[in-house]
Amino acid sequence: MVQARIGLAKSGLAKSGLASQKVRAALWFLAPMVLALALAAGWPLGRTLYYAFTDATLSDMADHGFVGFDNFWNPEWGGLFGDAKWWRAVGNTLVFTGASVGLETVFGILIALVLNRPFRGRGLVRAAVLIPWAIPTIVSAKMWGWMLHDQFGVINDMLLGLGLIEAPIAWMANSATALGAVIAVDVWKTTPFMALLVLAALQTLPGDIYEAARIDGVSRLRVFFRITLPLIRPALMVAVIFRGLDALRAFDLMYVMAANNADTMTVSVFARQQLVDFQDVGYGSAAAALLFVLVAVMTAVVLTLGRVRMGAAR
Amino acid sequence: MSGRPGILFFLGVGLIVLFAGFPFYYAVVSSFKSGSDLFEVTYLPMFDLANYRAVFTEQPFGRNILNSVVVALAVVVLSLLLGLLAAYALARVSFRGRGLLLATILSVSMFPQVAVLTGMFEMIRAFGLYNSLPGLIVANMVLTLPFTVWVLTTFMADLPRELEEAAFVDGATPFQVVRLVFLPLMGPAMAATGLLAFIVAWNEFLFALTFTLTNDMRTVPVAIALITGATQYELPWGNIMAASVIVTAPLILLVLVFQRRIVAGLTAGAVKG
């Protein structure tokens, strides 16, 4: 913005005419995009929030009554706040988000550190790391579902071969391992994204600090924790926040690997099950609305905190 | 940084490559095995194309691929068109409410998909678009448009101002400036963003699952997710793996070829955001 003003002030044209022409054109250029977003995002979101306060059903959404906050809480059947299945879904979502983003961050940093070192064939390795990212989530879910198959799965075969387990494990059928398996697949799928962002941050770091540290004989571990990590922290935080918000809405992976299994059900899966399978538009919308509010509040906090830094960078 | 990489380092590199690549390799191996071969774990490929034939004969998989291509291409073209115009306004013109608009666009890209599901369902049915490709195209715009605008805006903001000014001095209109000055310069950025949008639309699952009903309207991800066998417990894994390889191989090829561009697009969208 500042740049734009300086640019306008610097050149000696008949500024006011051109500037107002540009602003007018800008509004026309923005209109189609704003209209498309309003149609595809704003309106549907508003309707979802509206339906959260109704008892609509999928067969005839127009025929509904207004029930206030009953879908969220009511003394008769409880609503979401009194629904153990809902709280289980909330718990699963939080565990999934925390565990997968945490692991991705650690693995992402490790891979980025490796890729940041020059060696022969680095380009090839970097391309290989991108493969999981390029594979559609549904395909990853199926591929891993097959690898984790209780009788014919390659994972059990490997673990048996290495002597780590004595009998095949039914990964997805066992409630102790199902969520863990889903988390592992998500980590496999999204670590490349994290690694690339960290790598991009690492490549902006000045080399002379490292030279100085090397001459002073500082240990590598110390260099990492005292120099590298603090320097890449801003980029890392952005990546963690983006991934965290993304993980909170996870649907595809657990739906394809375990359908509506309660062990892996996230809030998104819960909301869709109510909405589509049980045809309960009101209750499903209420669940979706709560997820939206959670994500919206977190986004607002992040944007407000980030504004200061973004403003300084421009 | 210091010293030559040792054995341990290359062991780590090998582990990373193995971890990243093995699942797809194993899917390829499995896709070539049919019948009872499938139920014996082997690590080396053989070449039996039975599963590949079965995928196309047992369900309208060719049609599913066509659906996915149509939806993804339409979404890419629309997103890039709307995104480029909007990006010029957002990156090159200072007007009131610009910051707020950018923040709104960014927050739309954070929307949980399920939060628009009810309203989208209602809208799609009202327009008679249920179980049709146009319905999916509209729905997919929620996912691709915000980040397309965002990434193109960051790229456009980095271009030198002088180019545009010279054109204005020569009496060009803003639309001509976008078309004749920025469009050629934005080629690489548009390619990167378009590729990302294509991948997002190609992979989209929740909308396609919810807004289509019949086999011949499904996109590839839904088709793969819903491949079933004789019973629920007897999934035709060979077919599923063959279908998975068919739709993933082009993507992997694209990613390997356009690696640099994709990374540039991803990091522009996230790091600068």
Confidence of residue B7 (pLDDT cuts 50, 70, 90): confident
Confidence of residue B161 (pLDDT cuts 50, 70, 90): confident
Q: What is the CATH number of domain B58-270?
A: 1.10.3720.10
pLDDT of residue A136: 92
Residue in A131, A185, A302, A304 to test binding to B, most B beta-carbons within 10 Å = A131
| A77 CB-near residues (< 8 Å, 6+ apart) | none
**Chain A residue closest to B172 (CA)?**
A18
How far is CA B27 from its chain centroid? 21
Alpha-carbon gap: A23 to the closest alpha carbon of chain B (Å)? 6
Alpha-carbon gap: B120 to the closest alpha carbon of chain A (Å)? 5
CA atoms within 13 A on the CB side of B249: 10
Confidence of residue B271 (pLDDT cuts 50, 70, 90): very low
Domain boundaries, chain B: 1-48, 58-270
pLDDT, mean of residues B218-240: 84
Residue in A64, A146, A215, A273 to test binding to B, most B beta-carbons within 10 Å = A146
Kindly report the average pLDDT of chain B as a whole number: 87
The span from the CA of B14 to the CA of A129, in Å, is: 11
Residue with tokens 């279908």: B243
DSSP result, B88-146: HHHHH---TTHHHHHHHHHHHTT--GGGGHHHHHHHHHHTT-TTSHHHHHHHHHHHHHH
Q: For the segment B61-74, what is each residue's pLDDT rounded down to a tens digit? A: 999 999 999 999 99
Confidence of residue B3 (pLDDT cuts 50, 70, 90): low
Does the complex come out with an ipTM higher than 0.90?
Answer: no
The span from the CA of A75 to the CA of A72, in Å, is: 11
| B51 vs A contacts (CB less than 8 Å) | none
Q: What is the CATH number of domain A83-279?
A: 1.10.3720.10
Predicted TM-score (pTM) of the model is 0.89
| A304 CB-near residues (< 8 Å, 6+ apart) | none
Of A43, A114, A147, the CB nearest to B16: A114
pLDDT of residue A79: 92
Domain boundaries, chain A: 2-40, 83-279
Q: Which of B256, B245, B227 is nearest to B25 (CA)?
A: B245
| A130 vs B contacts (CB less than 8 Å) | 255-256, 259, 262
Q: Is the Cα dihedral B92, B94, B96, B100 positive or negative?
A: positive
- Tell whether the model's pLDDT for residue B134 goes beyond 60: yes
pLDDT of residue A3: 47
Of B114, B220, B222, the CB nearest to A249: B114
Alpha-carbon gap: A98 to the closest alpha carbon of chain B (Å)? 17
pLDDT of residue B28: 93
Of A136, A142, A284, the CB nearest to B203: A136
- Tell whether the model's pLDDT for residue B97 goes beyond 90: no
The amino acid occupying position B8 is L
pLDDT of residue B259: 78
Phi/psi for A78 (5° steps) reads: 95, -45
Does the beta-carbon distance from A7 to B273 stay under 8 Å?
no
Query: Residue ranges of chain A with pLDDT lower than 50?
Result: 1-14, 308, 310-314
**Chain B residue closest to A288 (CA)?**
B115
pLDDT of residue B115: 94
Q: For the segment A19-40, what is each residue's pLDDT rounded down to a tens digit? A: 788 888 888 999 999 999 999 9
CA dihedral A33, A34, A38, A40 (to 10 degrees): 10
pLDDT of residue A300: 80
Does the beta-carbon distance from A252 to B24 stay under 8 Å?
no
Does the beta-carbon distance from B16 to A136 stay under 8 Å?
no
Does the beta-carbon distance from A291 to B38 stay under 8 Å?
no
CA–CA distances in Å: residue A231 to residues A204, A205, A226, A227, A237: 10, 8, 9, 6, 11
Residue contacts between A and B (CB atoms, under 8 Å): 308
pLDDT of residue A9: 45
pLDDT of residue A47: 96
| A39 vs B contacts (CB less than 8 Å) | 138
Does the beta-carbon distance from A288 to B123 stay under 8 Å?
no
| B198 vs A contacts (CB less than 8 Å) | none
